[in-house]
Structure 1
Amino acid sequence: MNNEQSAGFWSYTHRDDELDDGRIVRLSELIASAFEMITGEPLEIFLDKRSIEWGDAWRIRLESALTGTTFLIPVVTPKFLKSQECRREVIKFSGHAASLGLDELLLPIHYVNVPQLVQETEGEPADEVVELIARRQWVDWRELRLEDEDSPVYRQAVHKLALRISAILESAPPARPVEMSQEAAEEPPGFIEVMAEAEEALPAWLEIIQKFAAVIAVIGQASTWATQEIGTSDDRGGGFAGRMRVAEQLAERLAEPVAEVDALGSQYWAKLSAIDPGIIGFIRLAGEGDLSPEDRQAAHDFFKEIRELAGVTRETTAQLQGFSDNVGGAARSSSRLRPQFRTIQASVQKVIDGQAVIDEWNRMIDDTDLGDVDRP
């Protein structure tokens, strides 16, 4: 086992822990104790996500010799998936771990049932964070959380989880940076080739986000029309029958733009997540400083493009977040419209989660001596 002290970053919602009478935090303590009992070495578990140092600490460890001893352990519940902070941590950690070829360092605990993790949920839009978690060998704690903490069943489960962490640490390969392109090649791509692939993707991302905003505007106009029609119907004494008629007409108007939003959201996330590990590795390489003057200038120019992309997407994301919140309220009014509004919210969430990826690139750029590029 690595001689450096192992550490787990416990990603959970404080409200979940409160609702479960502190059992989530106690589980982290039990696992750390079992790990030390088994290995003779301590396992430090960082708990407080409200501290700024929480996120900085795992990044520092992943970018240092402590790479292979650092876990993110998300305690997955429905409330966890509704937490933007928790979602961001899974996305960012996953990108960093993948960039080093160490996917197994993301070790989810399925604590309260999330149907999409275990089965196809008919009519429910895909959730990219659920998909990131599903690709890992998560630990099933859904029934165990109901056991008494002193019961043999519970203690054995804690012991097995500590053994699993120990085994992963024993077998973890050295970090191996992942290149931008995942396709096999006789010669690995060089600095410029890696950058060129990402540079080509930037206009595509920008085009998708602009199309996304335009379609959302169409949906907003249709929703405004429906609100006005309902008001007119109510004035005429149309009652709930009149409202139902408007809802049916709105559903028909939304069919095409909602399908387009769904496709655009999926494209946006797929492109970002596929290239994320490579860009993280690229920025890390640029930050090492061992570049020719030509490469330094190329990296500087590329980082400026990322800044410009971030400026556009950040503004659009904020607008989409407000729209999604409003859609959530409207979705409760009609069963006919509810599936469409859920699709809209899921697609907007992909853009919001994508912003976490881009923001992490910008944070890493700031940490390099090439980060002094103009901000939009």
Structure 2
Amino acid sequence: MNTIGPAGFWSYTHRDDQLDEGRIRRLAEAIAHAFEITTGDELHVFVDSNSIAWGEQWRARLDSALTSTTFLIPIVTPKFLKSQECRREIITFSGHAASLGLDDLILPIHYVNVPQLTEENSSDEVVQLISRRQWVDWRRLRLEDERSPEYRQSVNQLALRLKGILETPPASGPIAILSSDTEADQPGFLDSLAEMEVALPEWAETVQEFGKVLESLNKKTQDSAALMQQSDARGGGFAGRLHVTNELAATLSEPVGKLTELGGRYSAELSRIDPGIIAMIRMIGEGQVTQQEEESAREIFGQLTEMIAAARDAVPNLRGLSEGAKVMASGSRALRPLMNSIQTAVQQVVDGQTIIEEWGRMIDELGGSGAGC
């Protein structure tokens, strides 16, 4: 890519920008102008997040000497958290940045109130990623006149913050994936491979367990629908329907609890090792490992590719479950907490799929990845 110098990639929903009469894109432009007049250097702003080239450009920068001058600026709103594309962008960028020890490159702007962002112990992976960073509060400022002194001063402060990040060395360096003969007390390359070797069967088992729980939930829901038809036939009315619904809520408690456990386990484990796996794949691409280490890694990558495909096949069924749960939650107070838990668990799996799909993309770029790649 020919673009050099600092660059900011804006992650936002176009609908939010439309609803706010283009103020989100104008904010991007205002910050770029404030940065340039403050530093004398141009801040390249990329706002077309729907373009394939958008993702390719920031990935290319993170893989080059431009790494420490590449920012992701998520504009956080309720629609942002509901957008799978926006979620994918922040999860993927975060993994790459963390693998390089550059977490400060993500600068979230809290644009419209998202209650989860100020709550503790959120199970939402994207909310966790945002909460761990010092996000900028723009919830009140977005209602101010863009020409007002307060608004202009806040824009300038944001530009100065970007300038400060560029001038401050990262708190930590890249993830250390050392060669197996290194004696330092840090995980070696083969240690990371061994961790992957253990994790793959566990992930496959989790996906299979999801399938079993899904079957159980479907059966219980179908049985409930049959009971409701019988109640209607007897003239049970709304009282009969409510009774069936309450019984369904009681029977769903156990499988929904299991689904919640599986979702949390799946998402947490993938997030934990994501930076290390990205660093490991990058090292192979840069020729920083021995031939034996590379051969071992490519064998594991073949298994990983098969796992990605298996998980990908399961996602549509889980999405269907989530949509069904949303409908049921809107119609029954007794079922609502359980249905919300189902939607949360499904989102965790979908977010986890984003992580492993990125591994698959990087493995494919290596070429010749062995069986299954």
Q: Name the residue aligned to 1:132.
A: 129
Q: Name the residue aligned to 1:234.
A: 232
CA distance in 1: counterparts of 2:241 and 2:287, whole angstroms: 64
Residue pair 1:68, 1:175 contacting (<8 A) in 2 also: no
Query: Residue 139 of structure 1 aligns to which amino acid in structure 2?
Result: V
1:45 aligns with 2:45: yes
Query: How far did residue 319 of structure 1 move?
Result: 1.4
In structure 1, stretches of 5+ residues that fail to align are: none
Query: Residue 313 of structure 2 aligns to which amino acid in structure 1?
Result: E
Residue pair 1:229, 1:246 contacting (<8 A) in 2 also: yes
Q: Name the residue aligned to 1:204.
A: 202
Residue pair 1:209, 1:313 contacting (<8 A) in 2 also: yes
Query: Residue 70 of structure 1 aligns to which amino acid in structure 2?
Result: T
Query: Residue 306 of structure 2 aligns to which amino acid in structure 1?
Result: E
Q: Name the residue aligned to 2:322.
A: 324
CA distance in 1: counterparts of 2:328 and 2:37, whole angstroms: 53
Residue pair 1:180, 1:197 contacting (<8 A) in 2 also: no
Alpha-carbon spacing, 1:373–1:53, altered in 2? closer, same or farther (3 Å): farther
Residue pair 1:366, 1:372 contacting (<8 A) in 2 also: no
CA distance in 1: counterparts of 2:44 and 2:172, whole angstroms: 21
What SS does the corresponding residue of 1:21 show, helix, strand or coil?
coil
Query: Residue 355 of structure 2 aligns to which amino acid in structure 1?
Result: V
CA distance in 2: counterparts of 1:300 and 1:252, whole angstroms: 47
Instruction: Please show how residues 78-227 of structure 1 align to structure 2 within 5 Å.
Output: 78-120=78-120, 126-173=123-170, 176-179=173-176, 186-227=184-225
Query: How far did residue 296 of structure 1 move?
Result: 2.5
CA distance in 2: counterparts of 1:111 and 1:165, whole angstroms: 18
Query: How far did residue 175 of structure 1 move?
Result: 7.6
* TM-score between the two structures when normalised by the length of structure 1: 0.94
Instruction: Please show how residues 55-66 of structure 1 align to structure 2 within 5 Å.
Output: 55-66=55-66
Q: Name the residue aligned to 2:355.
A: 357
The equivalent position to 1:268 in structure 2, one of 260, 266, 269, is 266
Query: How far did residue 174 of structure 1 move?
Result: 8.8
- Deviations 1:16-49 (Å, cap 9, x if unpaired)? 0000000000000000000001100000110111
- Deviations 1:315-347 (Å, cap 9, x if unpaired)? 111211122112211211101101100000100
CA distance in 2: counterparts of 1:32 and 1:260, whole angstroms: 48
Report the number of matched residues. Answer: 367
Query: Residue 361 of structure 1 aligns to which amino acid in structure 2?
Result: W
Query: Residue 219 of structure 1 aligns to which amino acid in structure 2?
Result: L
CA distance in 1: counterparts of 2:169 and 2:87, whole angstroms: 25
Query: How far did residue 144 of structure 1 move?
Result: 0.4
What SS does the corresponding residue of 2:331 show, helix, strand or coil?
coil
Query: Residue 131 of structure 2 aligns to which amino acid in structure 1?
Result: A
